[in-house]
Amino acid sequence: MAAYSILSAVLCLEIIVRGMTLPANGLSMNYYMMSCPFAEMTVKNTVSRALQNDPTLAAGLIRMHFHDCFIQGCDASVLTDSTKDNTAEKDSPANLSLRGYEIIDDAKQQLENQCPGVVSCADILAMAARDAVFFVRINLFQAGGPVYDIPKGRKDGRRSRIEDTINLPAPTLNSSELIRMFGQHGFTAQEMVALSGAHTLGVARCSSFKNRLSNFDATHDVDPSIDTQFGRTLSKTCKAGDNAEQPFDATRNTFDNDYYNALQRKAGVLFSDQTLFAGANTRGIVNGYAMNQAMFFFDFQQAMWKMGLLDVKEGSKGEVRGNCRKIN
């Protein structure tokens, strides 16, 4: 059994490494092999333990990695706390519901004990997001999802400013705006739709979608792309206030393709979700993932890998923080 899982892990790795281009910027799969051999295992165990206590944190970690990578590259800028002289990304309204900082702190502390000053916060976050996807897939397939390796060697950035969060996509964007925005980061429309599938996990708060329900009894002026019954569900959620949470799909802690099925029923929570089914250039992709979960998983994994390489900093362009919340 053990031999089989190792073999299948190796095979998976082979396929994925061949399918993807390794970045030319000093990252490598075995970056910590000599300098901190238990780095991967330490992060994996920390994430596993945290998710056993609270599976909803998987969504937090994946979203945090996304926000990190879309602002100034994957450089842990999302993790730094504001200081007297600087308001960090974290304190932007876009920070709504970013969760899981403690998991990163916990892993970082253990790694500082094992190998001080070696493992970057950006790599810890990238590994933790990868592991979070793995562990929530276990829920689905008792046997566990594919094991895959990611390149490591990201350095932590020295800048984190609230104004940079303007580069995050707003939930009011339509399909063509989303294609353009993700295109600026080098993603195809298909990769954008696959990445949006992260919304198979977690929740949105009323404040992120209430503009779609201009009348809370859902009888007038409702966004026409919402199913009537689902519009009532959203309105009901909002009765409990701006912070009331609405799961994106029926299975908020399971990584599956239910999100795309919901879009087909016009039961997408955010405007930016439902627009993927409304847009002529994305609807076919939504239908494809709704029909074929394996294809979604494969594309999601590849797109996450690519996202994890956005504008990574190497060498003297970054540092390895001692504490993920503070620039050295």
**Residue with structure tokens 């429309």?**
189
Shortest Å distance, C-beta 160 to ligand NAG: 13
Q: Residue 176 binds which one of ligand NAG, ligand HEM, none, with CB within 5 to 8 A depending on kind? A: ligand NAG
10 Å CB burial of residue 117 (0-12, 13-18, 19+) is middle
Of 106, 112, 177, 311, the residue at the interface with ligand NAG (CB under 6 A) is 177
Residues 190/200, Cβ–Cβ less than 8 Å? no
- 176 near ligand NAG, rule: CB under 6 A: yes
Residue 75, annotated as binding a ligand:
yes
Residues 290/277, Cβ–Cβ less than 8 Å? no
DSSP assignment of 278-296: HSTTTHHHHHHHHH-HHHH
- 106 near ligand NAG, rule: CB under 6 A: no
- 39 near ligand HEM, rule: CB under 6 A: no
Q: Residue 292 binds which one of ligand HEM, ligand NAG, none, with CB within 5 to 8 A depending on kind? A: none
- Three-state DSSP class for 156? strand
- 96 near ligand NAG, rule: CB under 6 A: yes
Residues 196/249, Cβ–Cβ less than 8 Å? no
Give the binding range for ligand NAG (CB under 6 A) out of 88-96, 139-147, 220-228, 265-273: 88-96
Angle at 18 between CA 16 and CA 23, to 5 degrees: 90
**Nearest residue (beta carbon) to ligand HEM:** 202
- 262 near ligand HEM, rule: CB under 6 A: no
Which residues make up the interface to ligand HEM (CB under 6 A)?
A: 59-60, 62-63, 66, 96-97, 99, 169-171, 173, 178, 195-196, 198-199, 201-205, 208, 270, 272
